């Protein structure tokens, strides 16, 4: 948890963060894999962030899928199966409580594809990198929610027979335009952006932090470690989001 030697500094930072949230009519939140780490899901770039020796950058690309769709599907089938075993943690639940406080003035932009925000009860969620539960046909383009159902290594479309792919955004692919423009609008309109559990290295998602600042918002970061964004935020809270977010709520 937070460094006990620095507990007064941490307390002060927590209070400053609470003040920024309280002073806002509109709050946007950007989450990444770190918020789900305490639910038992691996992050992408931390220790153990490799899958069968592959970096995510080598599996999550259209080129990798073209070259070896079975390998890519093995990776995604494992992760889909994991979803059946995990539950939202206190960090996800805290964001539900914050949404209840802001109601229409709240937007949760997530890079996560695990669906845990919705499972916790968050309502206004924008999934900018897609969702593991959904598949998309490479032939007819149909999108279907297949939940955590076990799929084969080369699953095919029930309508046209073509190969299915996970409905997620791989490197070098565009983000879903409608969802992305809603995310940009939310960060441009908010007075405060809360950035939780992301290394802030993947664009264009990380660019939302700069956009928020350019449009006048204050930025609070909650992360176990320093990130690419830390130097430019107003308040950095270092520690696990499953503890810090519930602590923050107590101060609102
Ligand atoms: C805790 C914690 C706890 C742990 N509590 N915290 C050069 C420069 C700039 C950009 C580019 C470039 N070369 C290429 C690009 C573009 C590229 C990109 O950004 N690359 C960078 C890596 C350099 N971006 C794209 O390609 C995007 N598309 C695009 O740009 O289109 C235009 C284009 C078209 C044609 C050609 C080129 C461009 C698409 C990006 C899609 C990203 N997709 C993935 C996979 C999704 C599906 C899946 O899940 O498999 O999205 S990659 C992966 O990274 C996933 C994540 O959403 C994303 C972000 O990761 P995240 O969430 O930040 O996780 P980690 O692991 O990095 O960090 C976890 C954090 O949590 C850490 O900080 C921990 O400390 C913390 N933490 N436990 C609090 N308990
Ligand atoms: Zn099809």
Task: State both tokens at 77.
Answer: 């089938």
Spacing, Cα 161 to ligand 1 middle (Å): 31
Spacing, Cα 215 to ligand 1 middle (Å): 23
DSSP run (H or E) holding 137: strand 130-137
Q: Is the pLDDT of residue 232 over 70?
A: yes
d(CA 62, CA 52): 19
Residue nearest to atom 9 of ligand 1 (CA): 203
* Residues sharing a CB contact under 8 Å with residue 26, sequence separation 6 or more, in sequence order: 102, 105, 106, 107, 186, 189, 190, 191, 192
As annotated, the residues of the chain forming the CATH 3.40.50.1220 domain(s) are: 7-41+88-129+174-251
The arithmetic mean of pLDDT across residues 114-130, rounded, is 98
Q: Does domain 47-85+135-168 have CATH number 3.30.70.1450?
A: no
pTM of the model: 0.96
As annotated, the residues of the chain forming the CATH 3.30.1600.10 domain(s) are: 47-85+135-168
Reported as a pLDDT band with limits 50, 70 and 90, residue 6 is low
Superfamily of domain 7-41+88-129+174-251: TPP-binding domain (3.40.50.1220)
């Amino acid at each position: 948890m937070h460094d006990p030697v620095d507990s007064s500094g941490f307390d002060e930072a927590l209070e400053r963060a609470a003040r920024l949230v309280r002073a806002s009519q509109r709050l946007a939140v950007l989450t990444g894999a770190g918020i789900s780490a305490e639910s038992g899901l691996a992050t992408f770039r931390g220790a153990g962030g490799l899958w069968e020796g592959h970096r995510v950058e080598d599996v999550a690309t259209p080129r990798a899928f073209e070259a070896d769709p079975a390998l890519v599907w093995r990776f995604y089938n494992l992760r889909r199966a994991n979803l059946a075993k995990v539950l939202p943690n206190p960090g996800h639940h805290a964001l539900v409580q914050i949404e209840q406080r802001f109601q229409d003035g709240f937007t949760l932009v997530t890079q996560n594809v695990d669906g845990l925000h919705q499972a916790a009860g968050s309502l206004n969620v924008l999934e900018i990198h897609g969702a593991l539960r959904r598949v998309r046909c490479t032939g007819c383009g149909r999108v279907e929610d297949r939940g955590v159902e076990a799929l084969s290594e080369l699953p095919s479309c029930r309508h046209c027979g073509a190969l299915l792919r996970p409905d997620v955004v791989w490197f070098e692919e565009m983000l879903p335009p409608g969802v992305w423009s809603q995310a940009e609008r939310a960060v441009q309109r908010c007075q405060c952006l809360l950035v939780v559990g992301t290394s802030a290295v993947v664009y264009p998602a990380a660019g939302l932090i700069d956009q928020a600042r350019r449009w006048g918002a204050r930025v609070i970061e909650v992360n176990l470690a320093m990130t690419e964004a830390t130097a430019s935020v107003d308040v950095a809270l270092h520690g696990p989001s499953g503890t810090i977010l519930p602590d923050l709520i107590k101060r609102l």
